[in-house]
Structure 1
Amino acid sequence: MMSAPQTGPSGRRLGAIHRVLVVDDSRAQRLLLASSLTRQGFSVAEAASGDEAYEIAKADPPDLILSDWMMPGMDGLALCRRIRALGAERYIYFILMTSKTEKGAVAQGLDVGADDFLTKPVNADELLARISAGDRILTMERELSDKNRLISSTLQEISGLYDALDRDLFEARKMQQALLRERHRDFGPASVSLLLKPSGHVGGDLVGFFRAGADKVAMFSIDVSGHGIASALLTARLASYLSDGAPEQNIALVRDTDGRYIARPPQEVATLLNILMLEDMRSDLYFTFLIGYLDLRSGIVDIAQCGHPNPALLRPERGVEYIGESGMPVGLLDDAAFSQWQVQLRPGERLLFYSDGFTECTGHDGQMLDESGFVEIIQRNRDLETGDFLEALVWDLDMFCGAPDFPDDLSCAMITWRGAPHDQPK
């Protein structure tokens, strides 16, 4: 809030200029000017030389200096130059009094930093008019300086908040990555490997696996709509419903009559998650979902697909094949119906559940990689070992993208089927 304007003894409104330093080697001229300015409500200091004026200004900067040009020792021009070199926190308005009228002299004065000129002998009305002009300039300058200080202070505060948020997001990223307690596990006839790379600090993708009863392993892939904190919070909650470490909380598991945990049918898991999203979480978000149960005795995978990209099946002899039935995402419709289907894995085959961050990644020309491009990347790296294979997919995608960051989260869960014990070479 701006304070009410002050007035001097003469009723003159006092703005930015309150203290005036009069500099003149003529005592009579100083007294004349000081008397006139004092009557107008200014606080006036006097200096008989440039050196004296400089020391006063250095110790207690005035708002305005009214200085004669021609003085013995340090003249008004040299004084102005030294005042500007002081770098005072608040700007000092400088008026030179001179009998010089040549344009070159005026230009010289402006060049060293003078703001205005008065021709001697000084007319009282003109003096006040020049000071009033300077007062308007100083008022605007100081208002601008105050606003700049406020802006700088606010920017520093915002910067501090951003730094704190960045630190929190960094910790959140570590916590989200910790949801993948294992990125690879060998189950004998098969192994499961995971890849998760958020496009920002945190993301909305989640992959994982868990034991789903005797001789069964579940693998899932989730892609929450949107990006950022809200999506990441939802993935953290979903991770608790599909936890490998807490079977009693895992929505995909149910106790059998003998007390052991067995797997619910995958389509039933999708239905339960849909109910949770719409009735319990009540979120505007939704997610695509892919869950499969691998039977370690037969290599059969029972799969429910809910709007997620079609799984990719890498066959040693026949290349890459997309399989799947699409389906509705989870959390969109109350009456969404989910189905399930099967795929029979053969020894040496790999089954990939991946997010659309791969296929919808755009290259230098703005074209998406698409499913055909993803096939080429998979084929190119087919002979690599499991961990190297997943990292190579990201490497090749990075080469295709050519940007410092991927536009979307990347995630992939992969089953490598070696074959049941009786199928494996002795």
Structure 2
Amino acid sequence: MLPQRRSAQDAATFRTPRRVLVVDDSRMQRRILSAQLTRAGYEVIEAGSAEEAIAICAEIEPDIVLSDWMMTGMTGIEFCRIFRGMDRSGYGYFVLLTSKNDKNDISYGLESGADDYLPKPVNGMELRARLAAGERILTMERELQEKNRMLSSTLRELQGLYDSVDRDLTEACKLQQSLVKERYRSFGSAQVSLMLHPSGHVGGDLVGFFPINARRLGLYGIDVSGHGITSALMTARLSGYLSGSSPDQNIALIQTEYGIYDARDPAELAAFLNALVLQEMSTDSYFTLIYADVDLVSGRVALVQAGHPYPAVQRKSGEIEFLGTGGMPIGLIDDAEYETITTQLAPGDRLLLASDGITEASSQHGLLLAEDGLARIMRSCASLRGPAFLDAFYADLEKFTGGQLSDDVSAILFEFDGAKQNAD
């Protein structure tokens, strides 16, 4: 009666004694080898032919096979080839027994799939030494197999976690995009357009606008350091500080004694936000800010640049000017000082507030877009307006980088066509 076939798990974790299949058409040779192996502590199975051995191997998985080379019917070489093609849960160590001593014959046997060979008649000490070497190989193979099994299991678990995180990030992306409630709004003879493209599922850029009063508008761009979830959470927190739907919670707004809203001076807002972040947020993150207070009637712009790229004004004539002198990011040092700068927009002028994902975009040759490249793209898109301008701008930016944008990209476009009608 044949021993029961082992499961894959049993084969990977079995313990001694090893199971050895002895294949020889000489009953005497089988008995001699079996006696030697049994005394050495092995579990022995005998087969009188290669055909019988194949049937045994189909039912069980011997750890080691000792097969005579020359046998009636199928030879040991032919058996070895079939053995190597059998479906097994683990490796089987195959030793050819032969009276051949020609090196070419030995090489042929090893090339056919045998792991080792023993000359006949078999010396007991040499047999045990060769099998000990085979056992070491089997042990290493089984250990590697078990480690691979554990690794595969771990990778499946990690893939499940990744898929879960990926689904969560996809939903987070939708939520972050919803923070930009309006991508475009017309104010009669002026209009605002917004662009936001995270480099991953979620990003650290945020753009928006809010009414200050009947004739003034607040525009802001934020770029939190780093990428990913931490940056996205911080942008969500900051969006509440500059909310257009809840003016009583907007830190840029102050209510006058007459019950109407006015706005903090841009430099004062940056300093206030800097102190607020350092006091209330326990984080190593910081962010750059561009904030502009725009008068829809006169075209006057007051703005603060806190680490953000230089604001660009494109005049009706096509001439481009860059404003500002830089400034410290928000949330880096206590008592940082900021400066309010002003400019005057005439009818037909436009103001672009862009993030460093644009100015620091790199071509395939390692060249930065910088202010010169930004101005070049603005000129190429000069005939377009509103969202169409920003779409064309982004397409040109992608072309410049070869589609390899590595940072979040955001921008605010304010276009001024003249005094707002019926303004209070």
Q: If the length of structure 1 is used for normalisation, what is the TM-score? A: 0.90
- Measure, in 2, the Cα distance between the counterparts of 1:264 and 1:378: 31
Confirm or deny that 1:186 pairs with 2:208. no
Q: Secondary structure at the match of 2:206?
A: strand
Q: Secondary structure at the match of 1:161?
A: helix
Residue 9 of structure 2 is matched in structure 1 by: none
Per-residue deviation, residues 291-311 of structure 1 (Å, max 9, x unmatched): 112222222222222222221
Distance change >3 Å, CA 422–CA 192, structure 1 → 2: closer
Number of equivalenced pairs: 409
Residue 368 of structure 1 is matched in structure 2 by: 368
Letter in 2 for 1:302: A
Q: Secondary structure at the match of 1:347?
A: coil
Residue 309 of structure 2 is matched in structure 1 by: 309
Confirm or deny that 1:418 pairs with 2:417. yes
Residue pair 2:271, 2:335 contacting (<8 A) in 1 also: no
- Measure, in 1, the Cα distance between the counterparts of 2:238 and 2:75: 80
Residue 10 of structure 1 is matched in structure 2 by: none
Residue 337 of structure 2 is matched in structure 1 by: 337
Deviates more, 1:87-96 or 1:294-303: 294-303
Residue 35 of structure 2 is matched in structure 1 by: 35
Residue 246 of structure 1 is matched in structure 2 by: 246
Letter in 2 for 1:392: A
Q: Secondary structure at the match of 2:383?
A: coil
Q: How does 1:165-244 map to 2 (within 5 A)?
A: 165-244=165-244
- Measure, in 1, the Cα distance between the counterparts of 2:267 and 2:15: 77
Q: RMSD across aligned C-alpha pairs, in angstroms?
A: 2.0
Distance change >3 Å, CA 297–CA 40, structure 1 → 2: same
Letter in 2 for 1:285: S
- Measure, in 2, the Cα distance between the counterparts of 1:329 and 1:20: 74
Residue pair 1:17, 1:63 contacting (<8 A) in 2 also: no
What are the ranges of 5 or more consecutive residues in structure 1 without an aligned counterpart?
1-13
Residue pair 1:17, 1:135 contacting (<8 A) in 2 also: no
- Measure, in 2, the Cα distance between the counterparts of 1:121 and 1:307: 86
Give the superposition deviation at 1:377: 1.0
Per-residue deviation, residues 394-416 of structure 1 (Å, max 9, x unmatched): 111222222x3212221111111
- Measure, in 2, the Cα distance between the counterparts of 1:299 and 1:85: 83
Give the superposition deviation at 1:200: 2.4
| Percent sequence identity over aligned pairs | 51
- Measure, in 1, the Cα distance between the counterparts of 2:343 and 2:406: 32
Letter in 1 for 2:41: G
Give the superposition deviation at 1:220: 0.5
Give the superposition deviation at 1:61: 0.6
Letter in 1 for 2:46: E
- Measure, in 2, the Cα distance between the counterparts of 1:332 and 1:283: 10
Residue pair 1:16, 1:139 contacting (<8 A) in 2 also: no
- Measure, in 1, the Cα distance between the counterparts of 2:231 and 2:73: 74
Residue pair 2:318, 2:379 contacting (<8 A) in 1 also: no
What are the ranges of 5 or more consecutive residues in structure 2 without an aligned counterpart?
1-13
Per-residue deviation, residues 121-144 of structure 1 (Å, max 9, x unmatched): 222122111111211221222222
Give the superposition deviation at 1:184: 0.3
Give the superposition deviation at 1:421: 4.4
Q: Secondary structure at the match of 1:86?
A: coil
- Measure, in 2, the Cα distance between the counterparts of 1:28 and 1:327: 95
Residue 58 of structure 1 is matched in structure 2 by: 58
Residue 3 of structure 2 is matched in structure 1 by: none
Give the superposition deviation at 1:16: 6.5
Letter in 2 for 1:262: D
Q: Secondary structure at the match of 1:58?
A: helix
Q: If the length of structure 2 is used for normalisation, what is the TM-score? A: 0.91
Residue 406 of structure 1 is matched in structure 2 by: 405
Q: How does 1:308-327 map to 2 (within 5 A)?
A: 308-327=308-327
Residue 386 of structure 1 is matched in structure 2 by: 386
Per-residue deviation, residues 321-342 of structure 1 (Å, max 9, x unmatched): 1122432221122111223232
Confirm or deny that 1:44 pairs with 2:57. no
Per-residue deviation, residues 235-289 of structure 1 (Å, max 9, x unmatched): 1111111112222221112333344443233223212211111110032222111
Q: Secondary structure at the match of 2:249?
A: coil
